[in-house]
Amino acid sequence: MIEVMLSLQEKEPDYYTDQIIRGLMLVLLGAGTDSTATTIEWTLSLLLNNPHALKKAQMEIDNHLGNNHLIQESDLNQLSYLHCIIKESQRMYPAAPIIPHESSGECTVGGYRITHGTMLLVNLWAIHNDPRVWEEPRKFMPERFEGMELEKHGFRLMPFGSGRRGCPGEGLALRMVGLVLGSLIQCFDWESVGEGMVDMSEGTGLTLPKAQPLLVRCRPRPAFVDLLSKA
């Protein structure tokens, strides 16, 4: 990305200044890194508390890819259950639980008069966990998305926002989460540290972090030891 920006700077130095390039890099790192890592942490936590789903995801990857090569981006479209897991995790624990929007004109929302320029906060967490919209919303059920892995779900599910103001990095984020999570599931067996369920308490922060960081123990799966040593 930096190389592309520097090449554009040579063609349009007045626009692509060092300040513009530096600002864009900070946005990409700030908006993409923390939210992606948080999503992966929540998803692994959910899978550890639901080992049947973790096993099902491993079986799907094994059935499609075997054990002779590591998962690649081009493999993701074949892994429908992995997509269901990611969607369910983003539904239960959206990385952006509250999304701000500024009203472009006077309007009425929920019976309240909203003036032009007012900052409105859309509570995605409440929408994603509304029992009027989702059956047993606090239950981890990736199967609810089976057959709808690549579909949009309107305003029922919008972890990246919606419309023209939706997150421009949605495609990149989904590929990154899918590739990292798929690789972790494919290559390692996972278990939580200590007895009992993983603590799913929510912390405070813009990206809805876990209150207690996830502590896990992992072992390379026997079929992938040689492959990992060559990676």
Is residue 184 a contact partner of residue 155, using CB atoms and an 8 Å limit? no
Q: 0.85 exceeded by the pTM?
A: yes
Band the pLDDT of 150: cuts 50, 70, 90. Answer: low
Residue 220 buriedness (CB in 10 A; 0-12 / 13-18 / 19+): middle
Which residues are documented as binding site?
A: 167
Half-sphere exposure of 105 (CA within 13 A, CB side): 0
Note the pLDDT of residue 163: 82
Known binding residues for heme: 167
Are 224 and 187 in contact by the 8 Å Cβ rule? The answer is: yes
Length of the chain: 231
| Token output for 198 | 């993983």
Q: What share of the chain is helix, strand, coil (3-state, %, to 5)?
A: 50, 15, 35
Q: What is the pLDDT of residues 47-81, one digit of tens each?
A: 999 999 999 999 999 999 998 889 999 999 999 99
User: Which pLDDT value is given to residue 34?
Assistant: 83
- Phi and psi at 192, nearest 5°, equal -75, 155
Complete domains list, the chain, with CATH: 2-95+124-230 (1.10.630.10)
Most confident of 13-17, 42-46, 150-154: 42-46
